[in-house]
Chain A
Amino acid sequence: MIKFEQVSKVYTDGFKAVDSVNFEVPEGEFLVLIGPSGSGKSTTMKMINRMIPHTNGTISIDGTDIKKLNPSELRRNIGYVIQQIGLFPHYTIEKNIAIVPELKGWDKEKIKTRVRELLKMVDLDPDIYASRYPKELSGGQQQRVGVARALASDPRVLLMDEPFGALDPITRDQLQDQIISLQRKLKKTIVFVTHDMDEALKLGDRIAIMKDGNLLQIDTPEKILLEPASTFVEDFIGKDRIIQNPELMPVVSVMTTKVVTSVLDRSPEKALLKMRQEKITSLIIEDEQDDTFVGLISAYELIKKVSSIQSIEEILIVPEHTLTDKASAKDAIMMMPNVKYGVIPVLNEAKKVVGIVTRGTLLTALSSQWTELEGINE
């Protein structure tokens, strides 16, 4: 929907704020631009609504070159939220939200209904807040109004320039959650600038990392964490990021593929021998015909009952808890306390076991992240 082709911003003194950037934002995507200060992330964003004119290349929205559009007209169709909020102090909250609809010449009744709807959407009671002035609101409330104002005329594109950067951590967290739920409902195309990696990981469908006017990597949060394109990206996201964000870590990275399987049709003695040989505490049972997952046998149960049972089928456990190979490490961590015998089988689409997560594998995977960290600090 938004497309950058070889876009540069070169100032008259020769300084290249943005250097031949190429990327595309599909409709409905939440793209986060991130980078250290001076990386050109804000400039890149502000070129989209021509607040900063680009000097080379083409930026197009829905295939239309934005240079061919009237700047005011263009901006009225793009929501714009800035860090300093920028509410009009001499307008009531209602009038502030109504600015773009009024510029577009909506009729009064329609604007009034829309304002109420928007205030409710950002969790502000219209009966209380509509007639207030910005200075009577807290910073967090003001930025809620800022977001409502940007959404007023229902633009398809939303530009947000570090919108939560000036808020306290708790308010910031609340507003991030709110923007996530709003985005889920409204499906806007959002370009969001931040310098906070946690914010980027939390909000972005994709994250674009910039440095010195160059786009270094644009990828999903998972990809950025697991496959950073350069050492700068790696350093920038920080090694400990992955431990703090286990939801971004695939479960396959915390499981072991060393799985010992067996069919049901095996004598208890033989099964116990096998488990002793392999030094394992649980045996995965697969279907004879198609190798799909059937259940598991616990070594503890087996030792207790080995002489009293005819077949291992009698002590077969069909676990309530299994994970798919698309799950995250966080899912495994959350599930582990409820799991009997401490084993979570990980199944692929064909219901075959691709690995198991145990407390041991979780610990090993997470602690290896820590030791890597230590290594860097030295």
Chain B
Amino acid sequence: MNNLNIWEQFMQQAEMRWSEVIEATSVHIQLVFFSMLIAIVLGIGLGILITRVPQLSTVVLGGAGIMQTIPSLALLGFMIPIFGIGVNTAIAALFLYSLLPIIRNTYTGIKDVNKATVEAAKGMGMTSLQVLLKVELPLAIPMIMAGVRTAAVINVGTATLAAFIGAGGLGDFIFLGITRGIDGLILLGAIPAAMLAIILEIFFTYLERWTTPEGLK
């Protein structure tokens, strides 16, 4: 087997394991999807919160920043004592890892809304909630979506490491390929993961464009 070149190895492995690839891809997507879902909900929520309670902004942004500085593999390791081995741990770690870009972009997006627009909104008698929902969030959407996109793309890459803590996903093939010394097997995990990242990037770019209010384009 070792005298095959890398492309032939890849084709051979793909033929042998295509159903496993599909399953791993679906696990991978689930890891990304659920961790992102929680990160989006909590990240936007926290981002809004720290624009309302500025005293919290240093703590929240600092905390999320620290998460980001922890090497991804180490973060996955930290989670094992809490959530055990498997999917939950991976989702928790990926979620923490995706939080910073979303919080930060939500925060800056809202902060960057033109002061005059907000003053006019208040001056016309909008309540604080109306200002948030009708003015600040719509105008911050492009920025927030950019944060989500960044987080999602990083997330797809990081999710390959989930295999190391037994959560499965496309990282399984990479892990296996490395330990067995089969380069083709590494590609079998890496190529779908890269494609997933590209597809997500394109998807979010369109979503960003689609959610940007008409008058801002």
Contacts and interface: CB of A to CB of B under 8 A. Distances in A.
Interface of A: 49, 51, 71-77, 80, 82, 84-92, 99-100, 103, 133-135, 146, 149, 159
A277 B182 CA distance: 128
Most chain A C-beta atoms within 10 Å of own C-beta, residue among B120, B126, B130, B135: B120
B117 interface: yes
A88 B135 contact: yes
Given A49-B123, A88-B215, A90-B214, 20 more contacts: A73-B125, A75-B124, A76-B124, A80-B123, A82-B116, A82-B123, A84-B114, A84-B116, A85-B120, A86-B116, A87-B117, A87-B120, A88-B134, A89-B216, A90-B139, A91-B215, A92-B214, A99-B121, A99-B126, A134-B215
A103 B119 contact: no
Most chain B C-beta atoms within 10 Å of own C-beta, residue among A77, A91, A135: A91
Contacts of A84: 114-116, 119
A49 B127 CA distance: 14
Contact of B124 (A89, A92, A103): A103
Most chain B C-beta atoms within 10 Å of own C-beta, residue among A75, A89, A100, A146: A89
A324 to B, nearest CB: 44
Nearest to A92: B215
B119 A86 contact: yes
A73 to B, nearest CB: 7
A49 B123 CA distance: 7
A91 B124 CA distance: 15
B52 interface: no
Contact of B117 (A80, A88, A100): A88
Contacts of A99: 121, 124, 126
A129 to B, nearest CB: 13
B: interface residue count bin: 20 to 34
B136 to A, nearest CB: 11
Interface of B: 114-127, 130, 134-135, 138-139, 213-216
Q: Which 10 A-B pairs have the closest CB atoms?
A: A86-B120, A90-B213, A84-B116, A76-B125, A133-B215, A75-B125, A80-B123, A86-B116, A72-B125, A90-B215
B216 to A, nearest CB: 6
Contact of A135 (B116, B123, B126, B215): B215
A146 B138 CA distance: 20
Contact of B119 (A82, A90, A91, A149): A82
Contacts of A75: 122-125
A80 B215 contact: no
Given A85-B116, A86-B116, A89-B139, A103 B216 contact: no
B53 to A, nearest CB: 19
A90 B117 CA distance: 11
Given A72-B126, A103-B126, A88 B214 contact: no
A76 B134 CA distance: 16
Contacts of B121: 86, 88, 99
B113 to A, nearest CB: 9
A49 B115 CA distance: 18
